[in-house]
């Protein structure tokens, strides 16, 4: 049971280039999330998905797109990378409803992205 | 979700108990208190959560005041591997199941 995995672990992009980050989970979780974390700050939610084929915007969605074609995968795309997108990106997943209590989220190891 | 206030940093001696405070004075009746931690460069890790009663698991204990306006996470015997940023998060059980992270408390366990 690998949990939540992220590909790649590191990437350097030039301004204007595009790329896709892949998140995979093997826990049959309904919900998946993409966060970014800038130095010295807490995580901020970019986009999330409550099920296969669904996506929704989080706190900082501009400049990113996502897709959830398969339940186990959640892709984060940068169409035209900018230096402001230099960050560490974390993926997470959780069980969905019923919500007797909020569900804990399980996080991946992160992807370090630098845009020059 | 209710806002939380945590001290930005604290030190703890190895082998001693670490008591991490969190203020959530605007918490509402259906909001839970959750704690996560983030060890350097890793993804956050769930620790414990509670609604009204005190809770204990293999990692920590959570003490919630009777009026629920504050709570304390207790690491009973801190080790060097407990050095991390600890986040106190207040949230409801709702569609989306979203987390909102604040600044957290940076805990340094010293030998």
Which residues on A lie below 8 Å from B103 (Cβ)? 41-42
Six-digit token string for B8:
């930005």
Instruction: Flag if A96 and B97 touch (Cβ within 8 Å).
Output: yes
Q: Count of CB contacts below 8 A, A vs B?
A: 70
Task: Output the CA–CA distances (angstroms, integers) from residue A36 to A46, A111, B5, in the order listed.
Answer: 7, 9, 21
User: What does the mean pLDDT of chain A come to?
Assistant: 95
B97 conformational bin, left if phi > 0, alpha if psi -120 to 50, beta if neither? left
pLDDT at B1: 64
Which residues on B lie below 8 Å from A100 (Cβ)? 93
The residue assigned the tokens 């807490």 is: A42
Instruction: Flag if B42 and A42 touch (Cβ within 8 Å).
Output: no
Q: What's the rounded mean pLDDT across residues A69-90?
A: 97
Instruction: Flag if B97 and A110 touch (Cβ within 8 Å).
Output: no
Q: What's the rounded mean pLDDT across residues A63-73?
A: 97
In whole angstroms, give the CA distance from residue A114 to residue A102.
33
Q: Across the 111 residues of chain B, what is the mean pLDDT of every consecutive 10-residue run?
A: 89 97 93 95 94 95 97 97 96 85 95 95
CB contact at 8 A, B4 and B24? yes
For chain A, the residue count is 116
Q: How confident is the model at residue A11 (pLDDT cuts 50, 70, 90)?
A: very high
Residues 6+ apart with CB under 8 A from B67: none
Residues 6+ apart with CB under 8 A from A86: A113, A114, A115
**DSSP designation for A86:** -
Which residues on B lie below 8 Å from A50 (Cβ)? 95-96
Tell me which residues of chain B have a C-beta less than 8 Å from any C-beta of chain A.
Answer: 32, 34, 41-46, 49, 51, 87, 91-104
Instruction: Flag if A48 and B98 touch (Cβ within 8 Å).
Output: yes
Q: What's the rounded mean pLDDT across residues A48-76?
A: 96
Which residues on A lie below 8 Å from B87 (Cβ)? 42
CB contact at 8 A, A22 and B81? no
B3 versus A5: the higher-pLDDT residue is: A5
Which of B28, B44, B46, B90 to mutate to probe the A interface, most A CBs <10 Å?
B44
A89, closest residue in chain B (CA to CA): B43
In whole angstroms, give the CA distance from residue A35 to residue A13.
19
């Amino acid at each position: 049971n690998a949990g939540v995995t992220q590909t790649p672990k590191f990437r350097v992009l030039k301004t204007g280039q595009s790329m896709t980050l892949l998140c995979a989970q093997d826990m049959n979780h309904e919900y998946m999330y993409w966060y970014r974390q800038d130095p010295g700050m807490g995580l901020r939610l970019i986009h999330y998905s409550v099920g296969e084929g669904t996506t929704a915007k989080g706190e900082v969605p501009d400049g990113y797109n996502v897709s959830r074609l398969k339940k186990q995968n959640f892709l984060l795309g940068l169409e035209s990378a900018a230096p402001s997108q230099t960050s560490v990106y974390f993926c997470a997943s959780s069980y969905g409803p019923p919500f007797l209590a909020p569900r804990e989220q399980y996080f991946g190891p992160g992807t370090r992205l630098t845009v020059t | 979700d209710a806002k939380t206030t945590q001290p930005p940093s604290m030190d703890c001696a190895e082998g001693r108990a670490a008591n991490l405070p969190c203020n959530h004075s605007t918490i509402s009746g259906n909001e839970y208190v959750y704690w996560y931690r983030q060890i350097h460069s890793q993804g956050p890790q769930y620790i414990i959560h509670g609604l009204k009663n005190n809770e204990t698991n293999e990692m920590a204990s959570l003490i919630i005041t009777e009026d629920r306006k504050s709570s304390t996470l207790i690491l009973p015997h801190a080790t060097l591997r407990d050095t991390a940023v600890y986040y106190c998060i207040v949230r409801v059980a709702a569609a989306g199941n979203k987390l909102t992270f604040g600044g957290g408390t940076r805990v340094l366990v010293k030998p």
